Amino acid sequence: MFLKHLINPKPTIILFFVVFCVVFISIPLINYDFNTIFINGNTPSYLVFFLALTLPFFQALGLNNLIYEKNIIKKDNLVIGFVFILIGSSFFNSLNEWASSFILLFFLNFILESYQKDYPFSEFFNAALLLSIVSVSLPNTIYFSLLFLVSGINYNNINWRTIFVIILAMIIPYIFYFVFALLSKSAFIIPEFTQFELIKIPELNWNPNPLNIWLSVLSLIGFISIIELFKWLYKKSIKSRKSFLIIFWYFIISIIIAVYSGNDYFYFTLTPLAVIIGNYFVYSKNRKIANILFVMLVISSLYYKYLIAYNV
């Protein structure tokens, strides 16, 4: 039905994906101008809109290609890219999170590249360096460093030398920051890495507003996708199996960080969740159910995105 066109996609489908991203992200402009909807501090609204078009698009495409090129999902597809854009519906002016999540895509790439390497010094150094740079702006992302431990145990390549390399790489950006503050005679402000605040859990009075409908559909699909992943995980290749374990733990860590750090941090859950859901849509044996769920995700996302413009 719909999903078959996103697996082994033709050039026309890739062009459709580009057009879809532009239209989908521009939907709130139906009722608002740039200066009302695309607001982020002192950043010009047109720049925020441009970055809203480019950063999520290139991350969706990059994530899609990364998973395929690493043979984690062996079928060429655009499903992951579409899912990433759709599940990011509620983030329309999250400039800091867009940029940081895009950088963390390369962080994930280096983590996955450490597969079958006894001494992944360069991979861990590069990953830790990128994570440390992101943590300057968003301090609690530093806890994604737990993924080094997960990766080291999973790939069986953790040792004291790799730990030293990780710590060294994590320190370097702060050394440069300190030197810059010293030379510019400005204050050296160390980020507060222990600044946690449990987000407020809303009351369980469900009402059929667009956000609740979208979240319900996303939660249902996410739950089914995780169940299906572990149900069929043993049938995947060793590399794919180990890589999916890292992606799953990436999702768990990102959820925990978001719960204790604020709603904006939930944007970091999109990367692993898009892969998990994309895997279900690509490999599900029951194509009819998969297509129905995909259509539900598309419709609920469009509906929610459309009504953002009317503040519903």
Per-residue pLDDT of the chain (312 residues; tens, 9 = 90+): 678 888 888 889 999 999 999 999 888 777 777 777 777 777 788 888 889 899 999 999 999 999 999 989 988 999 999 999 999 988 877 888 999 999 999 999 999 999 988 889 999 999 999 999 999 888 899 999 999 999 999 998 888 999 999 999 999 988 888 888 888 777 767 766 666 665 555 555 556 777 788 889 999 999 999 999 998 888 888 889 999 999 999 999 999 999 888 888 999 999 999 999 999 999 998 999 999 999 999 999 988 887 775 554
Domain that holds residue 101: 3-186+208-308
Q: What share of the chain is helix, strand, coil (3-state, %, to 5)?
A: 75, 0, 25
Q: How many domains does the chain have?
A: 1
Q: Which of 206, 235, 232, 233 is nearest to 219 (CA)?
A: 206
Residue 150 lies in a domain: yes
pTM of structure = 0.91
Rounded CA separation 291/209 (Å): 24
Residue 195 lies in a domain: no
Residue 192 lies in a domain: no
Residue 217 lies in a domain: yes
Residue 27 lies in a domain: yes
What dihedral angle (degrees, nearest 10) is formed by the CA atoms of 112, 150, 240, 159? Answer: 70
Residue 286 lies in a domain: yes
Residue 200 lies in a domain: no
Alpha-carbon 141 to chain mean position: 13
Rounded CA separation 263/250 (Å): 17
Q: Which DSSP string corresponds to 268-290?
A: GGHHHHHHHHHHHHHH-S-HHHH
Residue 196 lies in a domain: no
